[in-house]
Amino acid sequence: MTTKSVTTAPKSTVRVAPSVLAGIGAFAAVGAYVLVTSIDLGLWTSLGPGPGLFPFAMGAVLVAMAVVWLLQELRRPSETAEGVDLGLVIAVVLSLVILAAVMDLIGFQLGMFLFLMYHLKLRGRRGWPSSVITALAGSFGAFYAFNYGLNVSLPVSAFPLLNTIGL
């Protein structure tokens, strides 16, 4: 270590991570939206506090904290968190969205069977026997366990043809 490096204050070469800036911006935007909407809801009525008072306070807190966080980041940027496995995120989220979208149409059993087969056979690269057995247990088995064992109804297909065969 040189004398210069000890006596001069180290200049931070680390920049604020774009994801952190995006996060701060998002929180500030949500806070600002809540602030504006709360005023329309009414902050005070003749009976006392209005429906907008509490959200208004929370919106203000969110905006204020976003500003403080930004100042903190500009002074000393926080370490960037590890990135996420984007492939995994897309695969899981997309498959869940498709399942949720079709569950009322094709029923829980068929929808969940296909969902589990995708995650076990295609993504997990499991063998056919273990994939099929697990998917059957998780779809048809879970349907019967919840419907008849726990009296908790899971959706059946909206298509008459599938419905008549018990799906």
Partner 1 sequence: MDTLNELLNGFAAAMTWQNLLFAFLGCLLGTIIGVLPGIGPVAGVALLIPLTLNLDATGAIIMLCAIFYGTAYGGTITSVLLNTPGEAASAITTIDGYAMTKIGKAGAALTIAAVGSFVGGTVATIGLVAAAKPLGELGLLVGPPEFFALMVVGISLLVALAGKSMVKAVISGALGLLIAMVGIDPVAGAPRFTFGMDRLLDGVSFVAVIVGVFGLSELLSYRKDTATPTVHAPNLRSLLPTRGEWRRSAPAMARGTGIGFGLGLIPGMTGSVSSLLAYGAEKKFSRHRHELGKGAIEGVAGPETANNSHANAALIPLFTLGIPASPTIAVLMGAFLQQGLTPGPTLFTEHSEIAWAIIASLFIGNLLLLLLNVPLVGLWTSILRVPSSILTALILLFMVIGAYTINFSVFDVFVMIGFGLLGLALRHLDIPLAPMVLTLVLGPLMERSLRESLEISQGDFSIFTSRPISAVLIGLGLLIVFSPLLKLRKPKALNEDPET
Contact between 43 and 56 under an 8 Å Cβ cutoff? The reply is yes
* Phi/psi at 155 (5° precision): -70, 145
Among 16, 32, 39, 124, binds partner 1 (CB under 8 A): 124
Closest approach of partner 1 to the CB of residue 166, in Å? 19
Q: Does 150 bind partner 1 (CB under 8 A)?
A: yes
DSSP, residue by residue, 115-139? HHHIIIIIIS---HHHHHHHHHIII
Nearer to partner 1 (CB atom), residue 82 or residue 160: 82
Contact between 133 and 78 under an 8 Å Cβ cutoff? The reply is no
| Alpha carbon distances (Å) from 158 to 110, 117, 146 | 12, 22, 19
Among 16, 32, 77, 155, binds partner 1 (CB under 8 A): 155
Pick from 59, 75, 70: nearest CA to 21:
70
Closest approach of partner 1 to the CB of residue 160, in Å? 20
Residues forming contacts to partner 1 in the complex (CB under 8 A) are 19-20, 23, 27, 30-31, 34, 37, 41-42, 44-45, 47-55, 58-59, 61-62, 65-66, 68-69, 72, 78, 81-82, 84-85, 88-89, 92-93, 96-97, 99-101, 103-104, 112, 115-116, 119-120, 123-126, 130, 134, 138, 142, 146, 150-155
